[in-house]
Copies of this chain bind each other. A is one copy, B any other.
Amino acid sequence: MSLHLTILGCHSATPRVNAYPTAQYLEINNRHFLIDCGEGTQRQMRKYKVGFSKINHIFISHLHGDHFFGLVGLISTFGILNRERELHIYGPKGIKEVTILQLKVSKSWTKYPIIFHELDSKESELIFEDDKISVRTIPLDHRIYTNGFLFTEKPKPRKLHIENIQQYNEIETCDFHNIKAGKDFILSTGEVVPNEELTIDPPKPLSYAFCSDTAYKPGIVSIIKDVDLLYHEATFLKDREDLCEKTKHSTAEQAASIAYQANAKKLVIGHYSSRYNNLEDFKAEAQTIFKNVELAEAGKLYSTDDFPIEILN
């Protein structure tokens, strides 16, 4: 069980010299995902040593430029790097047409398959699942159709309590599978050895929720309840809550309120408007509601090992 989030870009609207738009690289349970892909994301991936070949699934929250204008360039670069493995792209309806047209006009068809998973449901839905991970949408409230994404590890089998098992000569290796699956063991005497005696709890599955961009939407709390790590946009401070209403964004306080209601373990905020010079003000505002807050910063790596923060070179 592991969860590492690398921020590649965390500013709103337009790329600037040292302020890249939204993109994140998530490693969870040995799966690797790219989330959003603003202009310059591939440059940031190179800078922070994200292996291009690890990315097989890209999740795009919505089709505003600061969340997807870097996608077609990345797709092209994968082609130049002779990628062969298929690439899955999850995003709003329209993402396929706009991507394909750009490849068409440049006559730069990729040799690897691209599989588009176009989304249009307004309800939370399961969009990816394998033996290690599931991904659900988190329907958000923005100016255009937008989803956040909830990444959750699959529960692992229970762990064997070897010392206790060794007390019972009757239990053979071939029984371990059932015991790990949670079954009690019945001795030849008919006595039942409860599973809790033979196993210990596996590590709790970890989860990560990505919520950008959105107006304050308490309706998402039930979807992200008890999440380990929550990224929630905080475009404005509450002094400009009027702009949140107009642009369908959140304040730092609103992001913190969502984290509090969801009982998140940690909150990371980002998508700062360029009107603010001092990002610490975002943290201070959020901490009036929810203590465990970090500011998103390009190159910052958030890990679940008590969430230490590491700055990448």
Interface residue ranges, A against B (CB under 8 Å): 13-17, 39-40, 42-43, 46-47, 63-65, 69-70, 72-73, 76-77, 80, 92, 94-95, 97-98, 101-102, 105-108, 143-144
Q: Check A16/B39 contact, CB under 8 A, given A65-B106, A95-B105.
A: no
> Which B residues touch A97, using CB under 8 A?
101, 105
Contact partners of A144 in chain B: CB under 8 A: 106-107
Q: Closest residue of chain B to A40, judged by CB?
A: B40
> Given the complex of chains A and B, what is the CA–CA distance between A47 and B15 in angstroms?
11
**Contacts A39-B70, A40-B43, A101-B98: A76 and B106 contacting too (C-beta < 8 A)?**
no
C-alpha gap A97/B101 in the complex (Å): 9
Assuming A63-B105, A65-B108, what are 14 further A-B pairs, CB within 8 angstroms? A14-B73, A14-B76, A15-B42, A15-B73, A39-B39, A39-B40, A39-B43, A39-B70, A39-B73, A40-B40, A65-B73, A69-B69, A69-B73, A95-B105
Partner of A106, one of B46, B64, B70, B101: B64
**15 A-B residue pairings within 8 Å (CB atoms):** A13-B77, A13-B80, A15-B42, A17-B43, A39-B40, A39-B42, A39-B70, A40-B40, A63-B105, A63-B106, A65-B73, A69-B76, A98-B105, A101-B101, A107-B144
- Bound CA span A22–B101, Å: 21
B72 contacts A76, CB within 8 Å?
no
Nearest residue (CB) in B for A92 is B105
Q: How far is the CA of A307 from the CA of B94 in the complex (A)?
A: 48
Shortest distance in angstroms between A77's beta carbon and chain B's nearest beta carbon?
4
In the A-B complex, the 6 residue pairs with the smallest Cβ-Cβ separation, listed nearest first, are A94-B105, A14-B77, A39-B73, A63-B105, A65-B76, A69-B73
Contact residues in B for A77 (Cβ distance below 8 Å): 13-14
- Cα A102 to Cα B40 with chains together (Å): 17
For A44, give the chain B residue with the smallest CB separation: B17
Q: Which residue of B lies closest to A12 (CB)?
A: B80
Cα distance, A46 to B39, chains bound together (Å)? 14
A289→B155 CA distance, assembly (Å): 68
Contact partner of A14 among B42, B94, B95, CB < 8 A? B42
State the CA gap A284–B63 with chains docked (Å): 46
Residues of B within 8 Å of A40, CB to CB, are 15, 39-40, 43
Min Cβ gap A199→B in Å is 48
Please give, as numbers and ranges, the residues of chain B lying within 8 Å of A98 by CB-CB distance: 101-102, 105
B residues within 8 A CB of A64?
106, 108
Chain B residues positioned under 8 Å from A47 (CB to CB): 17
Contacting residues, chain B, for A80 (C-beta < 8 A): 13-14
